[in-house]
Amino acid sequence: MSAATISSSKWKPSQSSERRGAPAMQSAVPARRGTGPTAIRFTESEPRIQAAKSLGTPEDLEIQVPPDEGGVEFVAEKRREIAAILSGRDDRLLVVVGPCSIHDSNAALDFAGRLADAAWAHTDDLLVVMRVYLEKPRTVLGWRGFINDPRLDGSFEMGEGLRLGRELMVRIMRLGLPVASEFLDTMLGQFYADLVSWGAIGARTVESQVHRDLASGLPMPIGFKNRTDGNVTVAVDAIRAARSAHWLASLSRDGTPTVVGTSGNDEGHLVLRGGTRGTNYSAAAVRSATRLLRKHRLPPYLIVDCSHGNSGRDPARQPAVASSLAARIREGDRTIAGVMMESNLVGGAQDPSRRPLVYGQSVTDPCLAWGDTVPVLADLALAVRARRLALEAIAPVRPTRRR
């Protein structure tokens, strides 16, 4: 499908039907003939394969759920803005915030409507991107995310999960919010990567060669998280690896198995998320990380995750982490280019097997409640303003904005 050519300045996000209380999401176009969950036969040489269903192709899904008019340019514009922040050319702060994982499209859209209002209020100081994480890595077992099991009942209707996930991303973009997602399965990202403005390679996959190869060909800035134990060097190694060209097995848009040659992604960057060894959001930890980046001639700008190891997985600690970062931003620290937070309508988390589920509450990691997230965003915006004034007093020329 050809890219939209209409300028994003002519594309106006919807301000009505996509707000809170929107009706349940429906498929934009009925599934095309021949792309449904058709059973696939296996031979006796594959005794551990019990069942299989046709998934369709990335091209099929894009035809069923295309980006809105102007949406292609919107994504391209936000990717450019994010890259500018992470290279020091834009003095705003990138804020990636949203649910740990998506499990309810309507609750996610409800959250997006509120976040869009906050993003607009702080647009001069923050570039807010919503977490729309459709896959979840598990340490051993557990619910693996919206794509894998969208009904949360073990039915694993992955075709349905991909369709609903893509529909959700399109509807969030209509609100004027760019979306962020983690690329976990190296094939599934083909079905929705065109809608993602910021991507992540997680702490469990940052050492994986195939994920580094994948990142080298992805068309958006990619954040590499430090390893689960807190090791930062492996994430910097991943950034370096992804900057180079690679060859990898992939799918073409029509579903054909393909060998793909990439050109390398020079918009990779570090995400500090703490680990089992402790937190790494302190001034000393950030300085150590930026020294490592400079050692390898990488841009000395990074994102700090207020959740995960940096909060001890206690969402109530996220505002304190953000406050510490805001204090250093006020003092003029430019190396902190972004902040991540896990937030949902309702704080905490619940068991995904619970019935009925609490509307707007995470079924994976516990999240900060929306009401407690709002003042954190405001504090970060004020910190950016203070940093701007402090740096202007030293050097009147500000970084060029790409707005």
pLDDT tens by residue, 225-258: 999 999 999 999 999 999 999 999 988 888 888 9
Give residue 44's pLDDT band: very low, low, confident or very high (50, 70, 90). Answer: low
Domain boundaries in the chain?
58-394
Average pLDDT over residues 110-133: 98
pLDDT attached to residue 196: 98
pLDDT digits (tens, 9 = 90+) for 183-231: 999 999 999 999 999 999 999 999 999 999 999 999 999 999 999 999 9
Which residues, in sequence order, are CB contacts of 166 under 8 Å at separation 6+?
61, 65, 191, 192, 195
The stretch 378-384 carries a mean pLDDT of: 98
Least Cα distance to 194 among 2, 339, 11 occurs for 2
CATH superfamily to which 58-394 belongs: Aldolase class I (3.20.20.70)
Q: pLDDT at position 21, please? A: 41
Tell me how far apart the alpha carbons of residues 131 and 336 are, in angstroms, rounded to a whole number: 19
Per-residue pLDDT at 161? 97
Residue 47 confidence (pLDDT): 76
Q: What pLDDT, in 10s, does the model give residues 3-34?
A: 332 233 334 444 433 444 443 433 333 333 33
3-state secondary structure (DSSP) of residue 282: coil
Tell me the CB-side half-sphere exposure of residue 286, using CA atoms within 13 A: 22
User: In the prediction, which pLDDT does 38 show?
Assistant: 55
pLDDT tens by residue, 328-369: 999 999 999 999 999 999 999 999 999 999 999 999 999 999
